[in-house]
């Protein structure tokens, strides 16, 4: 699983340069003008009277990109074909929006907004390719005074991910727009992750824990943090575990994307990563692939094929092929039409949520329109991927060790961008992550705790097909629990110590959820040894079972857990 603020503490500030924003402020006695003026006044902009003013905004089509090599390469290759420009108040609440096309050969384009008050504002300009892939975002402060004002910006920062309740962003408008957004590389976003996890079940009802992931992460490479220079790294692969295998057997790719590894993302959604193995390996290449083979990506009825082939962590040949069908469709893990899920809350945000909004992050965001820029991710899940068939082969002779037509997976799609300040907050974070599926009720729950230096943040949502859909066809949660209604604690006598890493973990947890929907659940690992060697660190994650009650009804289901060693999760 993968995850800013009224103070604007963590936002990237761009310097004046080649961009210009044209904003017209004039007296208006129309109803529309009065409403617009009132909205700005209520938002707390400076100024006590109407005034005539113009802010002119010019947008350079060749800005200087952030120190992200992937972004810089894509900007050079594709160029900017469209801008989306938003006028915000000084708290980040959106006031007006314009889309600006870039004619071929143009060096600069302009746009204009009309408002009626002097004061402090922000302008957020996002640059897109012809395929509406985002190249980056520039957020600029501007002080509007009577007369002509100009804003010129020459830099293109990392993409701002933020909460919004309007359908301005490309992925928010329709199911086909979401599919398109998720079917192109988004070079301005520093993390794109696609994860499948759950179990495969053969004809004898024997279960195998399974995961497969493909992700790009533009990794910060300056240890001092003084610059934001980033290099695209890729991680992909597949893992399998059974009670007798001893931990996870994993195979895949980890390395610098610009040094020999091949990443492909094409339409309809088809994602693959290939890397060369050293001479003498059991496989010349490691390959991981996930592709849409039927239906619309993200919608109910879509079918996906997940493939892997290559050398595993023990030097053996491992090949997997899994075909699944989505029986629920994508759900929104986050808030607003862009499914923005915060990773943490600043102390002042958490205090306001608890004091004024009953512990509801959803109500707080809807009421304040706090964008929480850079505090989280765009996060979608497919809670019910029914396994139609699978085959797992192992060792040099390709022996089939498991095959069948049973099982259940969960899929996460996570897009995320953190600047240096945000990276400092999350770099030493701790977390516990639980997904729970109840096939008989066709309901699912995700419950997560993320601990950072600024907060301990709990999130839990209930998903079902009864919930309403957004414009892009994504299901909203049937219910979101408030902060104070989420309790998770380990069962103290469930400790297990890994013979490989020496780390100790809890293998059983109690989860209690109160409020308008209640749950009293116990999650237990299906077997103890499900530790994953993730290269430079060990992670404990894998298949579990969940029992208990949901809204007073007895439930039994499947769970997947990810957590940290005892002592690192407090």
The CA distance from 128 to 251, in Å, is: 35
Per DSSP, 298 falls in state: T
| pLDDT higher than threshold 90 for residue 12 | no
Q: Is the pLDDT of residue 19 over 80?
A: no
pLDDT tens per residue across span 262-295: 678 998 999 999 988 899 999 999 999 999 999 9
Residue from 454, 506, 510, 443 nearest 478 by CA: 443
8 A C-beta contact, residue 21 and residue 58: yes
- Measured between alpha carbons, how far is 476 from 473 in angstroms, rounded to an integer? 9
Contact 82, 128 (CB under 8 A): yes
Assign 18 a pLDDT band (cuts: 50, 70, 90): very low
Query: How far is Cα 85 from Cα 151, in angstroms, rounded to an integer?
Result: 13
Residue 213, Cβ neighbours under 10 Å: how many? 20
Mean predicted lDDT score pLDDT of the chain: 87
Q: What is the pLDDT of residue 26?
A: 33
pLDDT bucket at 259, cuts 50 / 70 / 90: low
Residue 30: the pLDDT is: 31
The three-state secondary structure class of 278 is: coil
Burial 74-101 (b: 16+ CB within 10 A, else e): bbeebebbbbbbbbbbbbbbbbbebebe
Q: How far is CA 326 from CA 208, 403, 478, in A?
A: 20, 20, 18
Q: 566: helix, coil or strand?
A: coil
Of 322, 294, 286, 326, nearest in space to 307 by CA:
322
Token pair 């329109």 in the structure block, residue: 369
Domains within the chain, CATH numbers bracketed: 22-160 (2.60.40), 175-563 (2.40.370.10)
pTM: 0.89
Strands, DSSP E only, in 442-529? 443-451, 456-464, 479-480, 486-490, 495-497, 504-506, 508-513, 519-525
């Amino acid at each position: 699983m993968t995850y800013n603020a009224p103070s604007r503490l963590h936002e990237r500030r761009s310097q004046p340069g080649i961009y210009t924003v044209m904003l017209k402020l004039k007296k208006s006695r129309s109803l529309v003008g009065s409403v617009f003026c009132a909205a700005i006044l209520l938002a707390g902009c400076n100024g006590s009277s109407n005034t005539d003013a113009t802010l002119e905004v010019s947008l350079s089509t060749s800005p200087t990109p952030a120190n992200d090599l992937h972004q810089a390469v894509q900007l050079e290759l594709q160029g900017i074909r469209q801008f989306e420009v938003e006028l915000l108040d000084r708290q980040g609440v959106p006031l007006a929006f314009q889309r600006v096309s870039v004619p071929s050969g143009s060096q600069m384009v302009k746009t204009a907004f009309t408002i009626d008050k002097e004061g402090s504002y922000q302008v957020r300009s996002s640059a897109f390719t012809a395929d509406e892939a985002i190249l980056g975002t520039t957020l600029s402060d501007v002080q509007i005074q009577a007369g002509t004002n100009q804003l010129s910006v020459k830099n293109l920062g990392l993409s701002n991910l933020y909460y919004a309740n309007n359908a301005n962003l490309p992925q928010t408008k329709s199911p086909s727009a979401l599919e398109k957004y998720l079917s192109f590389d988004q070079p301005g976003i520093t993390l794109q992750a696609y994860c499948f996890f759950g179990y495969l079940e053969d004809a004898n009802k024997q279960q195998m824990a399974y995961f497969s992931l493909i992700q790009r992460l533009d990794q910060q490479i300056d240890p001092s943090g003084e610059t934001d220079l980033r290099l695209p790294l890729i991680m992909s692969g597949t893992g399998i575990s059974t009670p007798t295998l001893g931990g996870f057997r994993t195979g895949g790719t980890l390395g610098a994307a610009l040094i020999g590894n091949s990443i492909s993302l094409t339409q309809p959604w088809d994602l693959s990563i290939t890397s060369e193995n050293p001479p003498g390996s059991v496989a010349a290449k490691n390959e991981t692939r996930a592709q849409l083979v039927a239906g619309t990506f993200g919608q109910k009825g879509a079918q996906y094929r997940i493939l892997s082939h290559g050398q595993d962590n023990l030097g053996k040949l491992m090949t997997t092929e899994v075909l699944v069908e989505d029986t629920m469709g994508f759900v929104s893990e986050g808030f607003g039409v862009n499914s923005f899920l915060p990773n943490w809350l600043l102390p002042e945000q958490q205090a306001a949520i608890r004091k004024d909004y009953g512990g509801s992050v959803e109500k707080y965001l809807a009421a304040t329109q706090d964008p929480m820029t850079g505090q989280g991710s765009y996060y979608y899940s497919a809670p019910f991927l029914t396994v139609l068939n699978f085959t797992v082969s192992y060792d040099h002779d390709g022996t089939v060790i498991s095959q069948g037509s049973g099982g259940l997976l969960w899929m996460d799609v996570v897009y995320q961008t953190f600047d240096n300040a945000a990276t400092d907050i999350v770099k030493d974070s701790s977390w516990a992550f639980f997904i729970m599926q109840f096939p008989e009720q066709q309901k699912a729950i995700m419950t997560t705790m993320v601990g950072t230096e600024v907060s301990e943040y709990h999130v839990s949502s209930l998903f079902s097909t009864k919930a309403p859909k957004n414009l892009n066809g994504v299901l909203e949660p049937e219910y979101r629990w408030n902060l104070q209604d989420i309790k998770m604690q380990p069962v103290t006598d469930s400790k297990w110590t890994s013979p490989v890493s020496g780390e100790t973990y809890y293998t059983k947890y109690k989860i209690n959820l109160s409020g308008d929907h209640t749950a009293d659940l116990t999650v237990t690992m299906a077997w103890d040894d499900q530790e994953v060697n993730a290269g430079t660190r060990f992670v404990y994650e894998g298949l579990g079972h969940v029992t208990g009650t949901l809204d007073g009804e007895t439930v039994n289901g499947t769970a997947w857990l990810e957590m940290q060693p005892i002592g690192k999760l407090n």
